[in-house]
Amino acid sequence: MTDVHSEDLVAPHYPVSTSSVPPAVSHPVGELAHRQAVERLVASYRAIPSSSTVRLAKETSNLFRVRSEGPVVGLDVSGLRGVVSIDPVNRTADVQGMCTYEDLVAATLPHGLMPFVVPQLKTITLGGAVTGLGIESTSFRNGLPHESVLELDILVGTGEVVTARPTGEHADLFRGFPNSYGSLGYATRLRIELEPTKPAVALRHVHFPNLDQLQQALETIVATGEYNGEPIDFLDGVVFAEDDSYLTLGQWSDHRHDLSDYTGRKIFYRSVRGLGSDALTVHDYLWRWDPDWFWCSGAFLAQNPVVRALWPARYRRSDVYHRIVGLENRYGVMAKIDAWRGKPARERVIQDVEVPVNRTADFMRWFIREVRMSPVWLCPLRLRDDSPVGPLSAGEQPWSLYPLKAGTTYVNVGFWGTVPIEPGRADGDVNRKVEEAVDSFDGHKSLYSSAFYDEETFWAKYGGAAYRGLKDRYDPQGRLTDLYSKVVRSR
């Protein structure tokens, strides 16, 4: 992956297209198949020697941590990749932990429903988004994926499957499972809320010549749910430069004609800069970022018109790009070519951080000056007022392992690319500088990518006291890698 430079961001005024392809439909697997799959999972867990590291046997990953080598035995999750059932009347779904959002959406949209929050990449799993957090353009009104979970079954370190709900025997695990990254157990089934959809999403891309105006607009929209008197259902943004940023405002629409299609030669992030308004089917809107992995497909020449024409559309997807990155991590081909050409080594800077909305402009100015990567994604979020855990008091932190406070609006800042390692500097220095800056702006960072905190600092930030109690109760023998070892030491 590489950062995308400004000269690559000239966006033409695209004409709209009517060639949207109907999405596939995913059918529920049913209760019996689910029970059998859980039995196989539990049996595979109990068969693993206590000396072996336990991991899920996953075909894809959206994590950006290079794991240390060592004996690993994968759990049998082969039957836990679907939707168990959908209740269109009560607007809920029972979903297996390894079900991707691509398959989940394919099952719910035929009912005119979708999850409250659909993370941007197709192969993110529901269990992964809950245990590792997720975010999208509905998060300013719907919070994060775990906030629409009503109950979940979890295979914990003792080898048992327990059902965690907002109240009752395992309420501590319900509140502590988000951001635990599989270190407390693995979700086998999650019952989630669904919300109704319309056929399309109408978009406006609003330009802001300075970051203070952008911040003010974010605060107003999140507080009122409106912009210039118009209701807003979806909200995210892109910063290309300090004087060139955009918010994309989405509204549900019954519009069915002349819809744009970004699964072919057109590229969504360029349209943000090139179009004032747009419209997509709800399916295509949910996956608008996936064909180009936001803008990171440019690192593989997938945005070059000649290469794009030859690159099959079915392989222009985030999981394919992630596999390419995995091969580069293993063999270092591009790094060797850069060294041969006399170019400096590069540090991978892939982070999502949250800062309070009133610090967004200042943080972005720091980032543009010190890190010098663009574009940057912005996505506001706020804990739900009607969360399943019940009414929250201002300042309350209901989720044990992630420091989000009720009543506070945050802005997720996502930046994904590489920067040259300057003379006298070392790999990791920029990431450490980002971590320090995020702290100084009263923010925090997601843990799906590399982290560099010392152990004392880490546990102070991510619920160390609560975590120790959960670990003692649900994994007393330490069969699952603890959170710090997993996300910082990459074990």
More confident: 111 or 490: 111
* Per-residue pLDDT tens digits for 143-202: 999 999 999 999 999 999 999 999 999 999 999 999 999 999 999 999 999 999 999 999
* Per-residue pLDDT tens digits for 342-373: 777 888 899 999 999 999 999 999 999 999 99
**Nearest residue to 234 via CA among 288, 295, 179:** 288
- pLDDT score for 62: 53
* Per-residue pLDDT tens digits for 422-477: 888 998 999 999 999 999 999 999 998 889 999 999 999 999 999 999 999 999 99
Q: Is the dihedral of CA 243, 366, 222, 250 positive or negative?
A: positive
Alpha-carbon gap, residue 103 to 403, rounded angstroms: 30
Q: Which two tokens stand for residue 458?
A: 């880490």
More confident: 309 or 331: 309
Pairing assessment for the beta strands 53-56 and 72-75 based on DSSP bridges = parallel
- pLDDT score for 53: 74
Instruction: Check whether 491 has a pLDDT greater than 90.
Output: no
More confident: 13 or 467: 467
- pLDDT score for 321: 86
Q: Of 3.30.70.20, 1.10.3720.10, 3.40.50.300, 3.30.465.10, which CATH number belongs to 31-197?
A: 3.30.465.10
Instruction: Check whether 58 has a pLDDT greater than 80.
Output: no
Averaged confidence pLDDT in the chain: 89
- pLDDT score for 71: 52
**Beta bridge mates, 414:** 352, 377
List the single range of 220-229, 291-300, 327-336 with lowest mean pLDDT.
Answer: 327-336
SS3 sequence, the chain?
A: CCCCCHHHCCCCCCCCCCCCCCCCCCCCCCHHHHHHHHHHHHHHHHCCCCCCEEEECCCCCCCECCCCCCCEEEECCCCCCCEEEEECCCCEEEEECCCEHHHHHHHHHHHCEEECCCCCCCCCEHHHHHHHCCCCCCHHHHCCHHHHEEEEEEEECCCCEEEECCCCCCHHHHHHCCCCCCCCEEEEEEEEEEEECCCEEEEEEEEECCHHHHHHHHHHHHHHCEECCEECCEEEEEEEECCEEEEEEEEEECCCCCCCCCCCCCCHHHHHHHCCEEEEEHHHHHCCCHHHCCCHHHHHCCCCHHHHHHCCHHHCCHHHHHHHHHHHHHHCHHHHHHHHCCCCCEEEEEEEEEEEHHHHHHHHHHHHHHCCCCCEEEEEECCCCCCCCCCCCCCCCCCCCCCCCCCCCEEEEEEEEEEECCCCCCCCHHHHHHHHHHHHCCCEECCCECCCCCHHHHHHHCCHHHHHHHHHHHCCCCCCCCHHHHHCCCC
What confidence category does residue 278 fall into, taking pLDDT thresholds of 50, 70 and 90? Answer: very high
Q: Which two tokens stand for residue 222?
A: 């999140």
- pLDDT score for 70: 52
- pLDDT score for 169: 96
Q: Could you tell me if 45 and 159 are in contact, meaning their C-beta atoms sit under 8 angstroms apart?
A: yes
What confidence category does residue 330 fall into, taking pLDDT thresholds of 50, 70 and 90? Answer: confident
Instruction: Check whether 140 has a pLDDT greater than 50.
Output: yes
- pLDDT score for 60: 59
Pairing assessment for the beta strands 200-208 and 277-281 based on DSSP bridges = antiparallel
Question: Average pLDDT in the 332-342 region?
Answer: 71
Give this prediction's pTM: 0.90
Instruction: Check whether 336 has a pLDDT greater than 90.
Output: no
What confidence category does residue 22 fall into, taking pLDDT thresholds of 50, 70 and 90? Answer: low
Instruction: Check whether 9 has a pLDDT greater than 70.
Output: no
- pLDDT score for 76: 87
Instruction: Check whether 16 has a pLDDT greater than 70.
Output: no
List the single range of 27-41, 43-57, 228-242 with lowest mean pLDDT.
Answer: 43-57
List the single range of 90-99, 176-185, 201-210, 255-264 with lowest mean pLDDT.
Answer: 255-264
Question: Average pLDDT in the 62-73 region?
Answer: 54
More confident: 258 or 260: 260
Cis peptide before 375 (omega within 30 of 0): yes
Instruction: Check whether 101 has a pLDDT greater than 80.
Output: yes
What confidence category does residue 216 fall into, taking pLDDT thresholds of 50, 70 and 90? Answer: very high
